[in-house]
Chain A
């Protein structure tokens, strides 16, 4: 038996947004009508089967942290912002000093 640190042994659909709702629906409907409850279960069957399959496979999703630091290049964007801002004024400067441009 392998022990997976990140997702091992945990079914993929454990996230409350996915399976939680399904369970609640089933529980509510059991009180009212058996058939509807069965239908509700069937409705969510594919999801449960998928979740089970993933659980059975015991798929380890290994997320490896990058060994290099993450570098984001911002210089170009900053330059561009500056030049966009100065463009109209630069045009005026050229226009007003035609003798040197």
Chain B
């Protein structure tokens, strides 16, 4: 019973957080992101690629480029870890994650289309690698 009510409380909280995210400028979702990363995402300086890595959109300051490189190195590390645990390749694991990362982009954020062009996420699901769940 207690667990159930906790669960519903959680979902209510999640719904409230989602509403805040849409209406307010403060992105609760990005609690783990550094302010620089969150700002770069919001400004469309960086975007999600089809391969599970972050991309720099156009010409950006060196600080942004360096941050993206750092994030991608960390991503590669967790992909390698996940690939080993799931007996898949790093590329497969990265792409499986890209399926989710692209789906999780918020309207207004940038993503790279399969043709390499940078697009702004709208209301609909962005194109993803073939075979995504």
Q: Which residues from chain A sit less than 8 Å from chain B, CB to CB?
A: 76, 79-80, 82-87, 89-91, 93-94, 96-101
A101 neighbours in B (Cβ, 8 Å): 32, 75, 101
CA gap between A96 and B30 in the complex, in Å:
13
Contact A99–B32 (Cβ < 8 Å)? yes
With A83-B96, A83-B99, A85-B86 as contacts: A98 and B131 at CB distance below 8 Å: no
Tell me how many residue pairs across A and B have CB atoms closer than 8 Å: 75
How many B residues face the partner with a CB closer than 8 A? 29
A76 neighbours in B (Cβ, 8 Å): 130-131
Q: Which residues from chain B sit less than 8 Å from chain A, CB to CB?
A: 30-34, 37, 71, 74-75, 78-79, 82, 85-86, 88, 92-93, 95-97, 99-101, 104, 129-133
Interchain Cβ contacts under 8 Å between A and B, 26 examples:
A79-B130, A80-B131, A83-B95, A83-B99, A83-B133, A85-B88, A86-B92, A87-B99, A89-B82, A89-B85, A89-B86, A89-B96, A90-B82, A90-B93, A90-B100, A91-B100, A93-B79, A93-B97, A94-B100, A97-B75, A97-B78, A98-B33, A100-B74, A101-B32, A101-B75, A101-B101
Known: A90-B93, A94-B101. 6 other contacts (CB 8 A): A83-B95, A83-B133, A89-B93, A99-B33, A100-B78, A101-B75
* Interface SS majority for chain A: helix
